[in-house]
Amino acid sequence: MSQLLDGLWARGTELLGSKYAIMGGAMSWVSERNLVAALSNAGAFGVIACGSMPPELLEKEIVATKALTSKPFGVNLIIMHPQLAELVEVCKRQNVTHVVLAGGIPSGDTVKSIKAFGGKVIGFAPSAIIGRKLVRNGVDALVIEGMEAGGHIGPVSTSVLAQEILPTIREVPVFVAGGIGRGEAIVTYLEMGAAGVQLGTRFVCASECIAHEKFKEAFIRAQARDAMPSVQIDPEFPVIPVRALVNKAADDFTRCQLDTIAQFRAGKLDKKEAQLKIEHFWAGALKRAVIDGDVENGSVMAGQSVGMVNKIEPAQAIMDELLAQADTFLSQRKAA
């Protein structure tokens, strides 16, 4: 790795304690002990996706991850989790060094409780206004994630968020995420002022990842245009957009909305029943795809960088490729 690249993300590596300022995106059912440890061992910063895990399961996952790596890693907690306080206690008991809080704006008390045991707090900022509020609440770093990312997404692209936030929020390190699949893009955001980046989709086809073979095959076959956000039929029945590969389930979800809304209009369902029916359509869909390999009826969440995923290879090989691309890009520019 060139000294120039080393200098560009020095602020990020200092915060994370990792060799490279590349965070692994927390992907439910995917970012568990094996992938997290593999990323950390390769010099990146793995992050466990707690998702809906109960506290006892998260504790087992942290312990199991420690058995696979001695390198730094973090834990991603969803702030809407009904047992958030207990999950924070698990992180405290296990001496977790970094906690990523996702799914909204965390309370000041949650941030304080993590910082009280020495943990670093990383929050998600979908806008400069929220970013500044998080900084005031005491977070140690921010992640800005554009709509090109996989899974639940916001409405703004990565490049626009970067232009809006990187020049204005300097108090804490900022990591850029969403649609990043090559080293050249990493360098570009670092030069704009980012302290590092976060990648998820690019690591799904790591050989250490436990995702089903059919799930990985779907990634390898896919192009960027195949990763589309879920469609909302009626603004009266809002749908949180999720970017995933288009499949039979996506078509079925559209039909589900149409049929459910028609039943509501006909007086066969009240509004709450109709909304719940739509919301419950995807229950268990991600696990069906990731673990069971049902890539037609499950949710194959993927970012638009999926078109740059073309083979199954070790996490170390993926990291080596990203670093080589970044170094080559910097060297060519220096020589020009």
Average pLDDT of every residue of the chain: 96
Q: Length of the chain, please?
A: 336
Mean pLDDT for 204-217 is: 98
Q: In the chain, where does DSSP find H-type helix? A: 3-8, 10-16, 33-41, 55-68, 84-93, 108-116, 128-136, 158-165, 183-192, 213-221, 248-265, 271-279, 285-290, 315-335
Task: Place 76 in a pLDDT band, splitting at 50, 70 and 90.
Answer: very high
CA distances from 188 to 166, 317, 330 (A): 12, 22, 10
Tokens read off for 176: 């850029």
Domains and CATH numbers, the chain: 3-211+311-335 (3.20.20.70), 223-301 (no CATH)
Confidence of residue 1 (pLDDT cuts 50, 70, 90): low
Distance, CA of 53 to chain centre? 17
Identify the H or E element spanning 336: none
At residue 224, the pLDDT reads 98
Q: How many angstroms separate the CA atoms of 256 and 108, rounded? A: 39
Sign of CA pseudo-dihedral 7, 9, 11, 15: negative
pLDDT at 191: 97
Predicted TM-score of the model (pTM): 0.95
Return the minimum-mean-pLDDT range out of 10-19, 64-73, 230-239.
Answer: 230-239
pLDDT tens, position by position, 294-306:
999 999 999 999 9
Q: Tell me what pLDDT residue 24 has.
A: 98
What residues have CB less than 8 Å from 93, skipping those under 6 apart? Answer: 59
What confidence tens digit (pLDDT) does each residue in 117-167 have? 999 999 999 999 999 999 999 999 999 999 999 999 999 999 999 999 999
